[in-house]
Amino acid sequence: MKAAIFLAFAFASAAIHADTVYRSVGPDGKVTYSQRPPADGKIDKTLVFQNLPSSPLPESTLRYRAELMKSMNRKLAEGAKPYRAQPVFFMAQWCGYCKQAKSYLAEKGISYREYDIDTADGMRAFCPTWTEDQLRLRAQWLHTCDERGMLTSFEGFHTDDIHADLPLLRVPSLLITAARGDVVLDEDVQEMQTLSSGMLHTRVPDAGHMIPWDNEAGFYEAFGDFLGAKLV
C-alpha cells in the first residue's frame, strides 16, 4: 500500500487534482492495486489522493533564488562566447569541488593554469590589487573564523530580508556595491531605491567581494560627501 501511495504522489503534477487507486480482490483471492477499475474481481476499497500545492516559499527566499538564476544565466551566456586564452583555475587542497573540477578538466583534456589560494603566490594571483599587508592579515586571521559564525552568516543569506526593513528607513542611506561583485544587480538596486526613496547608490569599479581591499581608493571615493566631507 505504501508503494501505491508513493507512486500516486510522485507522479502528481503541480496543479490540484486527485488520483484514484482501486483495491480489488480477484477470484483467486489475490489483492491488486490499480488506477483503473478491475475488469473482473470485486472492488474492495477505493482510495482517493489529492495533490495540493505546497506551502509558498518566503518572499526573501524567492528573491534570492531569482537572483541566483539571473547570475547563473548570465554566466552561461558569457561562457558560450569564444574564449581562446588558457583557463585559470583557483583551487585549494581541502576543496572537494576543486578535485571534482580537476578530474572533469583532465577527462576533457582541457589544460589550465592552477593557483592554490592557500599559498602566497596563489592569493597574489587571485587578488592582484591586495597589498602585502592585506595578504598577511588574511593569512593571520582567516583560520580563526568561528565555524558557527560562518554557518549563521550563510543561513542569513536565505532568511534575512532587508527589503522588509527598507521602507522603515528614516535616515540618509548610501548603498555601495562592487562592479565585479555580481550579486547586487542593477534591478536589485532599483528595487531597493523604490522601497527607500532617499537611498543613494554608487558602484566601486575594479572591486569584488572585499571592496576596501580590492580598490581602497575607489572605496573612499564612493562615499563622496555623504559623511559631510570627502574622504579623499
For residue 5, what pLDDT is reported?
A: 33
For residue 69, what pLDDT is reported?
A: 80
Q: Are residues 151 and 206 in the same domain?
A: no
Q: Are residues 181 and 120 in the same domain?
A: no
Q: Are residues 131 and 194 in the same domain?
A: no
178 with 211: CB under 8 angstroms? yes
Residues 6 or more apart whose Cβ sits within 8 Å of residue 19: 8, 11, 12, 35, 48, 49, 50, 51
Using the 3D structure, point to which of 158, 181, 203 is the last residue of a domain.
158
Q: Are residues 110 and 177 in the same domain?
A: no
In a domain, 69, yes or no: no
In a domain, 203, yes or no: yes
Using the 3D structure, point to which of 111, 143, 158 is the last residue of a domain.
158
For the chain, the domain total comes to 3
In a domain, 79, yes or no: no
Using the 3D structure, point to which of 158, 179, 210 is the last residue of a domain.
158
Q: Are residues 188 and 222 in the same domain?
A: yes
Give the separation between CA 104 and CA 52, rounded to whole angstroms.
41
Cell numbers 521602507 label which residue? 167
Report the CATH number that the domain containing residue 105 is assigned in CATH: 3.40.30
Q: Are residues 205 and 150 in the same domain?
A: no
Which tens digits make up the pLDDT trace of 18-67? 567 677 777 777 777 676 777 766 777 776 655 545 556 677 777 877 88
Question: What's the whole-model pTM score?
Answer: 0.53
Within a 13 Å sphere around the CA of 38, how many CA atoms are in the beta-carbon half? 18
| Model confidence band, residue 11 (pLDDT cutoffs 50, 70, 90) | very low
Give the lowest-confidence range in 35-39, 90-94, 163-167, 224-228. 35-39
In a domain, 71, yes or no: no
Instruction: Give me the domain span that covers residue 21.
Output: 2-50
Q: Stretch 96-113: mean pLDDT, rounded?
A: 88
Cell numbers 476499497 label which residue? 45
**Mean pLDDT for the chain overall:** 79
- The number of helix segments (H) and strand segments (E) in the chain equals 9, 7
Q: Are residues 189 and 145 in the same domain?
A: no
**217 or 17, greater pLDDT:** 217
For residue 47, what pLDDT is reported?
A: 64
In a domain, 193, yes or no: yes
Q: Are residues 154 and 170 in the same domain?
A: no
The cell numbers describing 72, all together, are: 547563473
CB atoms within 10 A of CB 188: 17
Q: Are residues 197 and 232 in the same domain?
A: yes
In a domain, 120, yes or no: yes
In a domain, 62, yes or no: no
Give the lowest-confidence range in 21-35, 117-131, 156-170. 21-35
**11 or 127, greater pLDDT:** 127
| Model confidence band, residue 77 (pLDDT cutoffs 50, 70, 90) | confident
Burial of 223 from C-beta contacts in 10 A (0-12 / 13-18 / 19+):
middle
Share of the chain above pLDDT 70, in %: 80
For residue 41, what pLDDT is reported?
A: 62
Q: Are residues 152 and 165 in the same domain?
A: no
Residue 26 zone, left/alpha/beta (φ > 0; ψ -120 to 50; rest): beta
**7 or 152, greater pLDDT:** 152
CA distances in angstroms from 38 to 45, 85, 126, 158, listed in the order given: 12, 66, 68, 49
Q: Are residues 166 and 224 in the same domain?
A: yes
Residues 6 or more apart whose Cβ sits within 8 Å of residue 50: 16, 17, 18, 19
In a domain, 12, yes or no: yes
